Amino acid sequence: MTTRPGVHPVLMLLWVLMALCPAVWPVLGVSPNRILTPAGVPLAQLAGTPGVGGFFALLTLALIVLGLLAWRGGEGRWGALLGLLLSAVAMALLAALAGRYAASLWAERGSGRVVLAGGFWGLLLLLWLYGAQALRTLQAQGPRPGRWAELLPTAGAIVLWLPLAAVVVWGPMDRLSLWQEYRVNAALLGTALGEHLGLLALTLGLTAPLALGLGLRSVARPRFGRICLGTLGLVQTVPSIALFGLLMTPLSALSQAVPLLATLGIKGIGVAPAVLALVAYSLLPMVRATVAGLEQVPPAVLTAARGMGMTPSQVRWQVQVRLALPVLLSGLRVTAVQAVGLTVVAALIGAGGFGALVFRGLSASALDLVLLGVLPVVALAALINALMSVLEGLARVPGSAAPRAPSGVNT
Characterize 102-137 residue by residue with b for buried, 16 or more Cβ atoms within 10 angstroms of its Cβ, and e for exposed.
Answer: bbbbbeeeeebbbbbbebbebbbebbbbbbbbbbeb
pLDDT in the model for residue 3: 41
At residue 113, the 3 state secondary structure works out as strand
What integer pLDDT is reported at residue 362 of this predicted model? 85
Dihedral angle of Cα 115, 117, 120, 122, to the nearest 10 degrees: 150
% of the chain surpassing 70 pLDDT: 88
CA distance 167 to 93: 8
Looking at residue 5, what is its pLDDT?
A: 44
Q: Is the dihedral of CA 173, 176, 180, 186 positive or negative?
A: negative
pLDDT for 402: 46
CB 321 within 8 A of CB 301: no
d(CA 276, CA 248) in angstroms, rounded, equals 11
Query: Which residues does residue 134 pair with via DSSP β-bridges, in sequence order?
Result: none
Asked if residue 367 has pLDDT above 90, the reply is no
| C-alpha–C-alpha distance, residues 99 and 116, integer Å | 10
Question: Which 8-state DSSP code applies to residue 35?
Answer: S
Helix (H, G, I), strand (E, B) or coil at 27: coil
At 108, the pLDDT band (50, 70, 90 cuts) reads confident
pLDDT for residue 262: 62
Question: What pLDDT does 264 receive?
Answer: 61
Q: Is the pLDDT of residue 345 over 70?
A: yes
Is residue 146 over pLDDT 70?
no
Residue 14 has pLDDT above 80, yes or no: yes
Which range among 168-182, 187-201, 208-222, 262-276 shows the weakest confidence by mean pLDDT?
A: 262-276
pLDDT surpassing 60 at residue 409: no
268 vs 119, more confident: 119
Q: Is 258 helix (H, G, I), strand (E, B) or coil?
A: coil
CB atoms within 10 A of CB 98: 29
What pTM was estimated for this model as a whole? 0.82
- Mean pLDDT for the stretch of residues 90-114: 86
Q: Is the pLDDT of residue 393 over 50?
A: yes
Query: How sure is the predictor about 1, in pLDDT bands with cuts at 50, 70 and 90?
Result: very low
pLDDT class of 122 with cuts at 50, 70, 90: very high
Could you read off the pLDDT of 164-197 as tens digits, one per residue?
Answer: 999 988 888 888 888 888 888 888 888 999 999 9
Whole-Å CA distances, 340 to 25, 110, 166, 193, 333: 30, 39, 24, 11, 11
Q: Is the pLDDT of residue 265 over 50?
A: yes
Contact 11, 69 (CB under 8 A): yes
pLDDT attached to residue 4: 44
pLDDT at 36: 74
Residue 127: band (very low, low, confident or very high) from pLDDT cuts 50, 70, 90: very high
Burial of 204 (0-12, 13-18, 19+ CB in 10 A): buried
Q: Where are the alpha helices (DSSP H) in 112-184?
A: 118-140, 152-170, 177-184
Least confident range from 56-65, 78-87, 134-143, 377-386: namely: 134-143
Does 407 have pLDDT greater than 50? no
Per-residue pLDDT of 17-71, as tens digits, reads 999 998 889 999 888 777 777 888 888 888 877 778 888 999 999 999 999 888 8
What is the rounded average pLDDT for all residues in the chain?
Answer: 83
391-409: average pLDDT: 57
Instruction: Give residue 410's pLDDT.
Output: 40
Query: Which domains does the chain possess?
Result: 9-182 (no CATH), 186-395 (1.10.3720.10)
**Burial degree of 1 (CB within 10 A; 0-12, 13-18, 19+):** exposed
Q: What is the mean pLDDT of residues 232-249?
A: 80
Report the pLDDT value the prediction gives residue 126, as an integer from 0 to 100.
Answer: 95
